[in-house]
Amino acid sequence: MTSKPKQPATLLLVTMAINAALYAVGSFATAYIPSPWGVGQFRPAVIIPAFFATIFGPWVGGIGAALGTLIADSIKHGQLYFGSLIAAVPGNFIGFFLFGYVLKKKFNWARFITIANVTLVIANLIVAFLYVFAFKVLYASAPSYTALSSDALVMLSIGLTIFWFVTMLPFVLLVTPPLIVAVSNAFPSIVADDVRQSTLKELPRRPFALSMLVPGVIMIIIGLATTYTVFGTYLSTNFASTFSTTIMALLQLLFYGSGIILSALGLVVLLRKNK
C-alpha cells in the first residue's frame, strides 16, 4: 500500500489560491483567441489545475479551477460574468475535482492518461451545454441563439466540446507530467509515494501517442475546412467582429501548426521501437 502524506489545511488553502491565481493569469493570456464558433477560447492553461489536482487532490484542483476561470472571464468582460458563473465554474470544478479524486486513489501514468481524456470530455461537455442552453438561451435570451433550432444548438455545443478537448488534451499530456515529476523530486514530502515513484520512462507508449495523434489529425481537418470550405467564409461573413482577417489567419495557423506538430509527435512515439 502506498503512503498518502496528510497535507496540512494551510498548505491546501495556499495551493488552492495559487492554483486559482495561476489559472486566471494563464487563461486570460489566451482569452482573445476564440474557438471557430465565436465563443469559448483556446485554453492551454488547463495544465495548471491538472497539475494541482494531481499533487494536492480534488478540492485544490476543483475549487482552484472554478475560481480561476471565473476571475479570468470576469476580467475579460469587465464585470462579474454570469456566463462563466453558470457554465465554466461548475464544469471546471466537476472536471478537476474528478481528475484529482481518481488519481488520489491510485496514481500511474496509464491512469493519468485515461482520466485526462475522460475528465476533459466531461468538463467541456458540461461547460458547452450549460453555456449554450442555460446561459445564452435561458438566461440571456440572446437572439442569435434563440433563433437556432434545438439541433443546431446541440451541434454548437458538441462543436465547442470537440474544440476544447482537442486543444487542451495535448497540453495536459505533454506539459503536466514533467511538472509533476519535477515537483515530486523537489518536494517529496508533500507528494504521495505512487506519484513520486512514477518516472517519465513509464509513460505507456501507445495510449500516449494516440492521445496526441488523434487531436492532431482533427485539428488539421478543422484547419482545412476553415481554409477550403464554406465554413471559413461563414465565419468571416457572419462573425466579422470576431473573425477579422488577422484572427482568421492566426486561427488557421493555430490549427495547422498544432495539428502537424501533434500528429508528428504522436507518430514518432507510436512508431518508435522500444529499446
Q: What is the DSSP string of 89-116?
A: HHHHHHHHHHHHHHHHH---HHHHHHHH
How far apart CA 65 and CA 152 sit, in angstroms, is: 29
pLDDT tens-digit series, residues 82-96? 999 999 999 999 999
pLDDT tens for residues 203-221?
888 888 888 888 889 889 9
Whole-number average pLDDT of the chain: 88
For 108-140, how does the pLDDT look when each residue is reduced to its tens digit (9 = 90+)?
A: 999 999 999 999 999 999 999 999 999 999 999
- Give the residue-averaged pLDDT of 31-36: 83
Tell me the mean pLDDT in the region 222-236.
Answer: 80
Place of cell 474557438: 35
Query: Contact 134/86 with Cβ under 8 angstroms?
Result: yes
- Show me where the domains of the chain are located: 9-199, 204-275
Separation CA 158–CA 35 (nearest Å): 12
CATH topology of domain 9-199: Arp2/3 complex 21 kDa subunit ARPC3 (1.10.1760)
CA dihedral 138, 124, 27, 218 (to 10 degrees): -120
